[in-house]
Amino acid sequence: MTVQIRPAALDDLNLICRLRQQRASWLAARGSDQWSAEASGLPIDFFARVVDRAMAAGETWIAEVHGEPAGTITVNDRADTQLWTEAELADSLIVHYLIVDLRYAGQGVGRRLLAHAAALTQTRGRNWVRLDAWTSNTDLHTYYRRAGFRLARVAGPDRPSPSCALFERHIDDWLMDESFIDSRTDIFPMTPLGHYPTVSPAFG
Ligand SMILES: CC(C)(COP(=O)(O)OP(=O)(O)OC[C@H]1O[C@@H](n2cnc3c(N)ncnc32)[C@H](O)[C@@H]1OP(=O)(O)O)[C@@H](O)C(=O)NCCC(=O)NCCS
């Protein structure tokens, strides 16, 4: 299955909010408190404002399968305060709002979006992809471990945020991943052979 990643356009905000609400309902149906109002999850209008700003800054991306939107990710160098140290932030890009449409779950779209974050990280000359995951959601932690991340630590206990499980993966660890190689091609597309200048051999 071919997954293509493109920058989010401003009119993708409704799509991204729809994905967030779809997965929030999915989480609630599984009995998880992730993203719930009771557990201080972001209200949807606040989420929309944050993503809108990220899109305007070119930090948000859409995964497409056969031209249909299948997921989203935001990647930048900001995180909630007191999660990562300044040195950690300076050497990483941070993943936010990774969501895959349920219709495309289990097909590797999430891994492909994470690999895209890794390719962006390498392009910026940084070494770590980092993210915070919902502290109590151990199934989500398992997902990140299977995607090659390791738990750096759980921030707190003084942190009020419910998303304090800090995961990270070093850039060197991605290099052989097939999805990473695809992501590099997205960012630096191969020039078709016909577009290279023809150089005659300098002999004879
Ligand atoms: C995380 C996510 C983007 C991965 O998408 P994907 O690559 O298509 O992978 P899947 O959706 O098939 O998830 C893989 C496994 O992790 C589990 N999982 C993923 N996110 C989970 C979550 N938030 N809570 C509990 N389990 C979760 C899935 O149930 C699935 O389990 P299974 O293999 O037993 O079926 C997608 O599952 C998603 O949108 N999850 C909800 C939103 C979320 O938590 N985003 C991360 C925020 S830090």
For residue range 2-13, what is the model confidence (pLDDT) as tens digits? 899 999 998 999
What share of the chain in percent tops pLDDT 90? 78
The number of residues in the chain equals 204
23: in domain: yes
30: in domain: yes
SS3 assignment, position 61: strand
What the block records as the tokens of 167 is 């995961």
The domain of 102 spans 3-186
Pocket of ligand 1 (CB under 6 A): 23, 27, 32, 34, 98-100, 105-106, 109-111, 131, 133, 137, 139-140, 143
83: in domain: yes
Quick one: average pLDDT of 81-89? Answer: 92
Most informative mutation of 140, 151, 177 for ligand 1 (most atoms within 8 A of CB) = 140
Q: For atom 11 of ligand 1, which residue has the closest CA?
A: 105
E strand spans, 38-194: 60-65, 68-76, 92-100, 128-133, 150-154, 165-170
SS3 assignment, position 125: coil
127: in domain: yes
Q: How confident is the model at residue 191 (pLDDT cuts 50, 70, 90)?
A: very low
Average pLDDT of the chain to the nearest whole number: 90
Most informative mutation of 143, 161, 167 for ligand 1 (most atoms within 8 A of CB) = 143
Quick one: average pLDDT of 35-49? Answer: 94
Residue 203 predicted with pLDDT over 70:
no
Rounded to whole angstroms, the Cα distance separating 66 from 64 reads 6
170: in domain: yes
Q: How confident is the model at residue 112 (pLDDT cuts 50, 70, 90)?
A: very high
195: in domain: no
203: in domain: no
CA of 54 to the centre of ligand 1 (A): 22
How many domains is the chain built from? Answer: 1
> Which tens digits make up the pLDDT trace of 69-80?
999 999 999 998
CATH number at residue 31: 3.40.630.30
193: in domain: no
